[in-house]
Structure 1
Amino acid sequence: MQAECPRQPPFNCSCTLDNVVWDTSRLYLIPIITVDCSGLGLTELPGVLPSNTTSLLVKENQISDLRPLVNNEHYRHVADIFLDDNLVESVAVLEGSPWLFNFRVFSLRGNRLSQLPTYALDNALERNRHVVDIFLGNNPWQCDCLFTPSFQVNTEEG
């Protein structure tokens, strides 16, 4: 795990083994790994993550591009991503991606989101059985007559 941890500059991340779970179908142990790259001034997501990374913390950086979640194999099983206090302006690139249909926690607090493609969010929430939380607070939302009603439907508690 430590050999795969993104440590080459500018990625001075830390990797921790949080848990180990038994895979009953294959009869072996699976490590549960968290990678923390918070507060490093990063402008992009790490290109490589340890196998079995399930949580990624990249808070307080300068990241704006979410494409690695779509087209980088290392992000396939990352269930919890915390991108708080970055420069993300849009999540549209995630529409239809396998990651959007499998994540558990997606935190984008304190970014630059002003609009949210609610059709993509509707679709993901309907198809993703794993969603626990989506955090979108402290963004400069542009709440006009077109955006607000559909956004409110997604934020109301059921």
Structure 2
Amino acid sequence: MLARGSGPEQRTRLAVQWRQISWIACWIALCAVEALPACPFSCKCDSRSLEVDCSGLGLTMVPPDLPAATRTLLLLNNKLSALPSWAFANLSSLQRLDLSNNFLDQLPRSIFGDLTNLTELQLRNNSIRTLDRDLLQHSPLLRHLDLSINGLAQLPAGLFDGLPALRSLSLRSNRLQNLDRLTFEPLASLQLLQVGDNPWECDCNLRDFKHWMEWFSYRGGRLDQLACTLPKELRGKDMRVVPMEMFNYCSQLEDENSSAGLDIPGPPCTKASPEPAKPKPGAEPEPEPSTACPQKQRYRPVSVRRAIGTVIIAGVVCGIVCIMMVVAAAYGCIYASLMAKYHRELKKRQPLMGDPEGEHEDQKQISSVA
């Protein structure tokens, strides 16, 4: 009887325990569902790699409900033209951000302020014209940066000061004409630099960057072709193979600028100077200070100046040789005419009948003349 009575009590006890376990399991499941990040509408999310792919959706703004644990965010091939400063707030785990092929023209100063773990940033094929020097100061782990195919005309000093881990940098197809060496010196880990397809002016402003390129290549860095656009003498040539003698005139410019800084500054030089006031009748016109802008001296590269000097020296040598040839020809003509005259006189002096003694004497005279 005890064995039979213990059955219902045991089943009741098991049922109560099962209900408790079920409630606990449901509570854990609900908590897990709430803890899982929600995927933005129309985007594709991978829970394993924590990647959010919102590319090619025609987005005009960044989705506001991005999961905080996102590591990779793809926003390429959209219609983003402006980004608010809080677009990537609270995404401290983000490591890779791709904003390529959009219509961005400028970036707020603090837009990447929360991306402290960012290692790759793609901004290829946008319309970015300027960059703030503090734009990347909060991303010290950045390794790959692509700024190609934009409208950058210059890079602010200090832009790369907080990027000691940067390994690859692309500046291709922009509007860069020169670069400052100090901007790139903090990049101690840089291995690849792309600067092609820019309108480079290979003048004094690019001389120091040429020194840095030589040092970068010497330590094993890879650099594509930096083809000169100006001056015409260097058009199409790689800046790295241009000899340093081409920039000797830069020291002359520096000396002139330093000496000019000691002069008393005069009125600003303007191309369109105001018309002088008409003098009063009967009064002598007062001399007016010259307001004409002095024409800036154009320095020619050393190769051009050496070529001109070579042409002048060659012309002088050729002229001397021609004069010597003319003198030699005149001397030959005079000598030939004298000899012909002598032979004519000698024939006149010969007797009608042969005289062996006279002929012998004449031969002696001819040999002595020769």
Q: TM-score, normalised by structure 1?
A: 0.65
1:55 to 96, 100, 108: 96
State the distance in 2 between where 1:151 and 1:55 align.
Answer: 30
Whether the 8 Å CA contact 2:79–2:102 is kept in 1: the answer is yes
Partner of 1:113: 152
Percent identity, aligned pairs only, is 19
SS at match of 1:134: strand
- Given that 2:92 and 2:115 are in contact with CA atoms closer than 8 Å, whether structure 1 keeps it comes out as no
Between Structure 1 and Structure 2, the one with more strand by share is 1
User: C-alpha displacement at 1:45, in angstroms?
Assistant: 3.9
Task: Give aligned pairs, total.
Answer: 136
- Please say if 1:148 is aligned against 2:206: yes
**Residue deviations 1:58-113 (CA, integer Å, cap 9, x gap):** 10001122225x3554433322110000011122x134852364422111010001
**Quick check: 1:81–1:107 contact (8 Å CA) kept in 2?**
yes
Q: CA deviation at 1:43?
A: 1.0
Match of 1:132 among 140, 146, 167: 167
Displacement after TM superposition at 1:34 (Å): 1.0
Unaligned runs of 5+ in 1: 20-30
1:64 and 2:105 equivalent? yes
Structure 2: any 5+ residue segments left out of the alignment? 1-35, 51-68, 178-199, 220-370
In the alignment, does 2:133 pair up with 1:94? yes
Q: By percentage of residues, which structure has more helix? A: 2
Change (3 A) 1:67 1:13: farther
Q: Secondary structure at the match of 1:39?
A: coil
Amino acid in structure 2 at the alignment position of 1:76: T
| 1:4-43 map, 5 Å | 7=40, 16=46, 18=49, 33-43=71-81
From the CA coordinates, give the structure whose radius of gyration is larger.
2
> What is the deviation of 1:39?
0.7
TM-score (norm 2): 0.31
- Larger RCO: 1 or 2 (CA < 8 Å, sep 6+): 1
